[in-house]
């Protein structure tokens, strides 16, 4: 019996670091057999959210759980675009879908994800930060992605102003993003220009 409790405790501890979610590969890394999660699924202690994605019901739901779930569902690198602007609290955006950035060669093979917009983009480690334990693109990248996606100009301006007041952008990067907003075709080079 102590092995079962120990395994459950390890599962809960693992899920707590991932907003309540686990995947089979996470279980393998923690030394937990997938069959154990299926037992808990039948017992109503774990919920299957998508193919290969489970939520441990003993953990309370958090404000940003949906973002982390989308990130795991897509096996993404970071939350991006409008979703990142929202997570950074830079603009009054209300994205209909969660933007998840994946590496260019990655293809999402899971079913579901109706509320997830997958964007393929090569991110460098310096392009990614973390908020509430969730990998998220840095403000300069989020704003550049939002410009490319055609987000309303007033919301981009709001994000730029809030970034300035919080000192999240270097002045040169901010200026380049303002120029890119005026000429959206130049934005591809802007997001990658912060050093």
pLDDT one-digit tens code per residue, 107-139? 887 666 779 999 999 999 999 999 999 999 999
pLDDT digits (tens, 9 = 90+) for 6-39: 899 999 999 999 999 999 999 988 889 989 999 9
In a domain, 20, yes or no: yes
Residues 79/100, Cβ–Cβ less than 8 Å = yes
Q: Are residues 47 and 134 in the same domain?
A: no
Q: Using one digit for the tens of pLDDT, what is the confidence trace for 53-67?
A: 999 999 999 999 999
In a domain, 37, yes or no: yes
SS3 49: strand
- Give 3's contacts (C-beta < 8 A, 6+ positions apart): none
Structural domain boundaries, residue 138? 65-190
Q: Of 10, 37, 56, which residue is a domain's last?
A: 56
Note whether residue 195 is domain-resident: no
pLDDT at 187: 46
Q: Which helix (H) or strand (E) holds 129?
A: strand 128-131
Evaluate whether 92 touches 76 at the Cβ level (below 8 Å): no
93 located within any domain = yes
What's the mean per-residue pLDDT of the chain?
Answer: 90
Share of the chain above pLDDT 90, in %: 78
Cα separation, 156 vs 8, in Å, equals: 45
What is the number of domains present in the chain?
2
Confidence category of residue 77, pLDDT binned at 50, 70, 90: very high
């Amino acid at each position: 019996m102590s092995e079962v409790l120990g395994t459950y405790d390890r599962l809960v501890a693992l899920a707590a670091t991932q907003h309540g979610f686990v995947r089979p590969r996470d279980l393998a890394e923690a030394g937990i057999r997938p069959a154990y999660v299926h037992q808990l699924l039948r017992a109503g202690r774990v919920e299957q959210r998508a193919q290969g994605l489970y939520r441990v019901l003993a953990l309370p739901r958090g404000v940003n759980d949906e973002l982390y779930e989308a990130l795991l569902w897509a096996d993404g690198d970071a939350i991006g675009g409008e979703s990142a602007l929202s997570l950074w609290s830079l603009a009054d955006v209300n994205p209909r879908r969660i933007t998840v950035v994946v590496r260019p060669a990655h293809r999402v093979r899971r079913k579901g994800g109706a509320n997830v917009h997958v964007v393929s983009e090569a991110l460098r480690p310096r392009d990614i930060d973390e908020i509430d334990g969730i990998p998220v693109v840095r403000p300069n990248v989020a704003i550049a992605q939002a410009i490319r996606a055609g987000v309303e100009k007033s919301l981009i301006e709001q994000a730029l102003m809030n970034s300035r007041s919080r000192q999240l952008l270097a002045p040169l990067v901010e200026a380049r993003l303002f120029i890119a907003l005026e000429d959206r075709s130049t934005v591809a080079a802007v997001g990658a220009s912060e050093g």
